[in-house]
């Protein structure tokens, strides 16, 4: 059993999002991405059979990759196959939880 | 691609926690548990090779099942093998995200 306090991972970078690895196992990888306003995880996809979950913890932005951008704020959750285009961009300082099962 | 607004799942019950299924696939099951103060997911385990993540979204309580209770509040995350005892109890109204990979 491992208990993490996500507040301790709230570090940001001026040159791009700050990716913090929280957990990695054969079942999944769990990460925290921290964005300054204007930063983004560009739309991308991987040609593998996994799924990704992106949960906005704090802040605001948009989910990208679909036919239109979708507003994302605390409590907004994207679930997608990783072989479908997905991304997120921040309009305020934003923290998100990202999990990929199985890890890629 | 599926986008969920967790605010829409914030329903509570007087007779026990309210479990809302958010996503189910061969890779994982993702759920939202909503607790009134005093309610709990009792300590339990399952004899299978999966892992569980419990993230506190709002409210306060304790992670249970370890040698001692561990304070849990917004941003606290438990990661455990499901064959190890784990549980959570609420001291205030509390919402948690639970994911199990692979699902059991």
Domain coordinates in residue numbering, chain B? 15-97
Find the CB nearest A5 among B2, B22, B76.
Answer: B76
- List residues in chain B touching A: CB distance below 8 A: 1-7, 22-23, 25, 27-28, 30, 50-51, 53, 55, 57, 63, 65-66, 70, 72, 75-80, 84, 86, 97, 99, 101-102
Alpha helix positions (H), B1-104: none
Q: Is residue B98 within 8 Å of B30, Cβ to Cβ?
A: yes
Q: Residues B68-94: pLDDT tens digits?
A: 899 999 999 999 999 999 999 999 999
Q: Do A79 and B7 touch (CB under 8 A)?
A: no
* A and B: number of Cβ contacts within 8 A: 102
Beta-strand (E) ranges in chain B?
2-5, 18-24, 29-35, 40-44, 51-58, 60-64, 70-73, 76-81, 86-90, 94-101
- List CB contacts (< 8 A) between A1 and chain B: 63, 65-66, 78-80, 84, 86
Say what the alpha-carbon torsion angle B25, B73, A72, A100 is, to the nearest 10 degrees.
Answer: -30
3-state SS class at A9 = helix
What integer best gives the mean pLDDT of chain A?
Answer: 97
Task: For the domain covering B15-97, report its CATH number.
Answer: 2.60.120.10
Q: What is the pLDDT of residues B33-60, one digit of tens each?
A: 999 999 999 999 999 999 999 999 999 9
The alpha carbon of residue A63 is apart from the nearest alpha carbon of chain B, in Å, by: 9
Residue to substitute from A53, A98, A100, A103, interface B, most B β-carbons within 10 A: A53
Contact B86, B62 (CB under 8 A): no
Work out the end-to-end distance of chain A between its first and last CA atoms, rounded to an integer number of angstroms. 23
Mutation target for A interface from B2, B27, B55, B67: give the one with most A CBs within 10 A: B27
Closest partner residue to A75 (CB to CB) among B5, B25, B76 is B5
Which CATH code, of 3.30.460.80, 2.60.120.10, 3.80.10.10, 3.30.470.30, is assigned to A11-101?
2.60.120.10
Contact (Cβ atoms closer than 8 angstroms) between residue B45 and residue B86 = yes
Mean pLDDT value across residues A56-70: 95
Q: What is the C-alpha to C-alpha distance for residues A21 and A19, in angstroms, rounded to an integer? A: 7
Looking at residue B67, its pLDDT comes to 84
**What is the value of pTM for the model shown?**
0.96
């Amino acid at each position: 059993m491992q208990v993490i306090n996500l507040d301790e991972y709230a570090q940001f970078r001026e040159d791009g999002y700050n990716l913090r690895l929280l957990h990695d196992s054969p079942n999944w990888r769990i990460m925290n991405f921290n964005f300054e306003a204007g930063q983004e995880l560009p739309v991308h996809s991987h040609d593998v059979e996994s799924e990704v979950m992106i949960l906005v913890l704090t802040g605001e932005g948009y989910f990208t990759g679909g036919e239109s951008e979708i507003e994302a704020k605390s409590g907004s959750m994207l679930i997608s196959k990783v072989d479908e285009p997905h991304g997120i961009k921040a309009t305020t300082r934003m923290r998100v939880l990202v999990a990929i099962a199985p890890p890629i």
